[in-house]
Amino acid sequence: ASAIWSTARVFCYGSRATGLAYASSDVDLVVCGVPGFDKVYGQKVSEGLSPQQMGAQLEALSTLSERLKEELPDVRVRIQKSAVPIIAMSSEVDGQPLHMDVSLSTPQHKGLVAAQHVRSLYASIPVLAPLTVLFKELLRRHDLKSAYTGGLSSYALTLMIAQFVQIEPALRSEWMRVPLEQLEQPGLASLLLECLHFYGHVWDAQRHCIAGHTWGCVDRSHASLSVFALHPLLVCDPANPNNNVGRGCYRIRQIQSLFREAAKAIADAAEGAAAEGTAAEGAVTTEELATSSHESVDGPAAASGEGACEAAAAALSDAAVIRALFCGK
């Protein structure tokens, strides 16, 4: 890039920058300092690119792609026209596929800011990273992780899990009727099962949203959110509240069904452990967990469901819960 534009610099964002990438994860790169693209275009950032601006980006990416084809003849290079146009590159490294997406830095591009926000979340919520890894793997195994095919993006998933971890103590306090300051820290297994239960049974994507600027469930009927009314899932980007990072998740119902099935698999494992005499006293049955009623995201029914999850998770070790999640036993 610097051979074409002397001021250009390339930075990494996405899961490779936050430290939660798989070996097969895409490498997301953004080229900053390209003349004419880092400045504000004289319109609201939320309005996106005009046809003229889109054309200018595609022209710049075309110039860069031609140079990449010359320098990297063994790498497949193509331009992908989307809301944020990119150069999509693919190759193999040690027999493993490697995909790289290259975009240009503009006022609309918030990849670097989002990566910094995710890193700060991981630093302030230690359990968030392992929870996110488990959820990402669950979605990946069922082809529900890619936002390009209606799945849930890693960024949206991270924000959803972070929200749950923040509100979980209040839900558990209500169920246990114990003051917040007297609650014990839940284990990874409990949080995993509770989060699966919450987003599988309690969360209503048509009614609720993650506002991005506050920890809590916000009603989508609020007038300020009307612009997102047709989006299947609303997860506002803290880096840009006018950007819904869940707008392409049209398979959200399938994802919620997967979460319910995963919670049931863990509850089945807890029930099996109870039958063998290894479960903790008070562990719930699969039927109790799967059929409990939930009327509100923040009401007594939601809290009682969280309690059932905690009891089930208490019957199993963290390792046993993870085996149940991915192996069904």
What one-character DSSP code corresponds to residue 280? P
Q: What whole-number distance in Å separates Cα of residue 138 and Cα of residue 25? A: 15
Domains of the chain: residue spans and CATH: 9-109 (3.30.460.10), 114-327 (1.10.1410.10)
Class of residue 281 by CB neighbours under 10 A (exposed 0-12, middle 13-18, buried 19+): exposed
Backbone angles phi, psi at 147, to 5 degrees: -65, -25
Q: Say if CB 245 and CB 237 are below 8 A apart.
A: yes
Q: Which two tokens stand for residue 304?
A: 């009682």
Residue by residue, what is the 3-state secondary structure of 77-135? EEEECCCCCEEEEEEEECCEEEEEEEEECCCCCCHHHHHHHHHHHHHHCCCHHHHHHHH
* Averaged pLDDT in 10-residue chunks for the chain of 329 residues: 88 90 85 80 53 87 93 92 86 86 87 91 92 91 89 93 90 81 82 91 91 71 89 90 90 96 84 60 38 42 51 54 60
Q: Which amino acid is at 298?
A: D
Q: Which amino acid is at 128?
A: L
Q: Which two tokens stand for residue 135?
A: 């959820």
Helices (H) and strands (E) in the chain, counts: 10, 9
What one-character DSSP code corresponds to residue 186? P
Length of the chain: 329
Cβ neighbors of 302 (< 8 A, separation 6 or more) are 171, 198, 202, 294, 295, 296
Residue 308: how many other CB atoms lie within 10 Å: 22
Cβ neighbors of 303 (< 8 A, separation 6 or more) are 171, 172, 174, 175
Q: Which amino acid is at 227?
A: V
Q: What whole-number distance in Å separates Cα of residue 200 and Cα of residue 260? A: 5
Q: Which two tokens stand for residue 265?
A: 């698999």
pLDDT value of residue 216: 63
Q: Say if CB 63 and CB 96 are below 8 A apart.
A: no
pLDDT value of residue 221: 87
pLDDT value of residue 249: 95
